[in-house]
Structure 1
């Protein structure tokens, strides 16, 4: 068999499974897909004349990688690198970390995703808004929402705007920011490719997790600074299909406040779940009338359907702004009243 340096990942796995024996290997196979089992069976059948030294090298590499993964889970990549450098030397430690991070596809600021939002706030609150926006765009929406809600009111909209307008960030900038924050939290992460960061979708996920007061403050300020951006964010924050998160009382109120023609058009492309929900909250006569009209409705432009859905969504947001319905947000126990 070829030397270890020319091994593929499957060949190394085959050598490892052979070394572990049939019983252990059989347990490993239980966690594989059918395709993976077929590929590994083929690799094992082709693994002939594997000498002892080669087997030891593969086992040692597996052991080092497993240790590195454990260290990363305990304290991040920076911590893992420090431990491995002491045990293996700088070059070998770097090789292990590179192989592992390429496999795990470790994202920048991974170490912060293990931190409490209040801790993250303490680390970031004195940083430049662009730095805060960069870090928040890599956190989970729940973490980012908690941090954004805790920032000073005057800076919330600025950070939200920067997240929304962020596109691609070079690995050099990401690494530089991480090195600065490394003084507060031991971590280091380098991504070889330009990384998709932030954007409208990112800030929408964050704002969907903040409280209504924070959301309104941010959107109000954005409307003054950048009306088009604010409008685009609002369009994506609550779409027509999200109507399923409202309770029956709220749905009935939306039906009463919406034009029948808008509802009829809006339901044209709606899921069966949404249609059933709306029909269930209409009077029998209204539901029967809608079903009949939908059955005989001719072709309509998708643009007209989307505009009708937007008008219904705007009605929902107006009712929420007036405090007449509540849209559940985040991970709390909000209910519709």
Structure 2
């Protein structure tokens, strides 16, 4: 049977499917659409002329295969879906279905690893080159990546953290090559078609927020020796002023006592209502009333001054944490207050 689907756009296929499903089912589906989607689909359906039965059958079959593949991905990831589809459809057709799906879903590389236990991931990658480990960790969930990073040897932790922080964009060919190497150990995954933003400061900050405090301190200390500017940039983003909301009341009261009143007032100038309310809650009634009055009558201030005040308060938080006088909740839940 000749394949007529290749000449059709995605919208045309959707219109044919809607026609094939009938008015009742199509009406129910269109209730989930946006106004623009309804307009587009109505236009495509109205432009659809005579559709031969072979084309209709092929479109329905493609939809069914895609729906089944999505269900398999939800159950066990792309690797699992590919294995099942290969048994049912053969290798070529299974690859077509997976490629169709992943281009639509924009599935991230190493998706199969995000469904694995951190210890399993560690076993897969611990003997790989630091750059390879950095690439994989930059695609994992922060908690997963933090747990894996914590379990690596100390020197390797620093190498990997630095590489994640300094990583920019990675070509699909490089990602595909790494995936092929790991395919021998775990299920294969797919890659996005365009260059993918990988790693960077934001990525390593997310990872370090998921590691234990000892690992974080060790990595930052070593980075300070190797690349002071990079270490400083990472530390600036590790805990920001708005993160005060994750501290308990006793910790916030300690931070208020250790901070200058002028810094607190300036810092609150751009703070969210949630942060302000939490700080007011942990002040005396007299202090809270005084701060509210100051904020109400405060004239224009430079954003730079506000940010510097917030940085000084964040530094106070980190000093108290280093001294063991307060605990910042970590992503892996290893911090225990005794």
Q: TM-score surpassing 0.5?
A: yes
Preserved CA contact (<8 Å) 2:111 2:189: no
Instruction: State whether residues 246 and 336 of structure 1, in contact with CA within 8 Å, keep that contact through their aligned partners in structure 2.
Output: no
User: Mean Cα displacement is larger for which, 79-88 or 133-142?
Assistant: 79-88
After superposition, where does 1:28-47 map in structure 2 within 5 Å? 28-47=29-48
Which residue of the partner structure matches residue 187 of structure 2?
186
Q: Aligned partners of 1:234 and 1:23: how far apart in 2? A: 57
Distance between the aligned counterparts of 2:333 and 2:80, measured in 1? 34
* 8 Å Cα contact 1:250-1:336 kept in structure 2: no
Instruction: Give the alignment of 1:194-213 within 5 angstroms.
Output: 194-213=195-214
Q: Which runs of 5+ in 1 are unaligned?
A: none
> Does the residue aligned with 2:139 lie in a helix, a strand or coil?
coil
**C-alpha distance in structure 1 between counterparts of 2:7 and 2:276, whole Å:** 58
Tell whether 2:283 aligns with 1:282.
Answer: yes
Q: Map 1:105-184 onto structure 2 (within 5 A).
A: 105-184=106-185
Give the structure-2-normalised TM-score.
0.91
Match of 2:261 in 1: 260
Alignment correspondent of 2:307: 306
Structure 2 Cα separation of the partners of residues 288 and 145 of structure 1 = 42
Moved more, 79-88 or 103-112: 79-88
Deviates most, 193-202 or 62-71: 62-71
* Mapped partners of 1:247, 1:188: distance in 2: 41
> What is the rounded CA distance, in whole Å, between the counterparts of 2:111 and 2:96 in structure 1?
20
Once the two structures are TM-superposed, the CA of residue 53 in structure 1 deviates from its matched residue by 1.6
How far off its partner does 1:5 sit? 3.3
How far apart are the structure 2 equivalents of 1:132 and 1:53? 48
Counterpart for residue 330 of structure 1: 331
C-alpha change, 1:79 and 1:251, in structure 2 (3 Å) is: closer
Deviation digits for residues 38-67 of structure 1 (CA, Å, limit 9, x no counterpart): 433343333332221221121122223234
Tell me whether 96-105 or 196-205 shows the greater mean CA deviation: 96-105
Question: Number of residues paired by the alignment?
Answer: 335
Gapped runs of 5+ residues in structure 2? none
Retained in 2: the 8 A contact 1:327–1:335? no
- Please tell me whether the aligned partners of residues 139 and 198 of structure 2 are also in contact (alpha carbons under 8 angstroms): yes
Number of the residue aligned with 1:236: 237
CA distance in 2, matches of 1:226, 1:310: 21
Question: What SS class does the counterpart of residue 187 from structure 1 fall into?
Answer: coil
Separation in 1 of the partners of 2:104 and 2:168? 25
Task: Report the more deviating stretch, 88-97 or 273-282.
Answer: 88-97
Q: Which residue of 2 aligns with 1:95?
A: 96
User: Closer, same or farther in 2 for the Cα pair 1:335/1:282, shift >3 Å?
Assistant: farther
Q: Distance in 2 between matches of 1:273 and 1:76?
A: 38
| Per-residue deviation, residues 137-194 of structure 1 (Å, max 9, x unmatched) | 0111111011111112232122111111111112221111111111111304233221
CA deviation map 1:24-49 (0-9, x unaligned): 33443344334433433343333332
Q: Map 1:60-71 onto structure 2 (within 5 A).
A: 60-71=61-72
1:331 Cα offset (Å): 4.9
Distance 1:272 1:77, change over 3 A: closer
More divergent stretch after superposition (193-202 vs 275-284): 275-284
Q: Which residue of 2 aligns with 1:292?
A: 293
The alpha-carbon deviation at position 329 of structure 1 amounts to 1.4
- TM-score, length-normalised on structure 1? 0.91
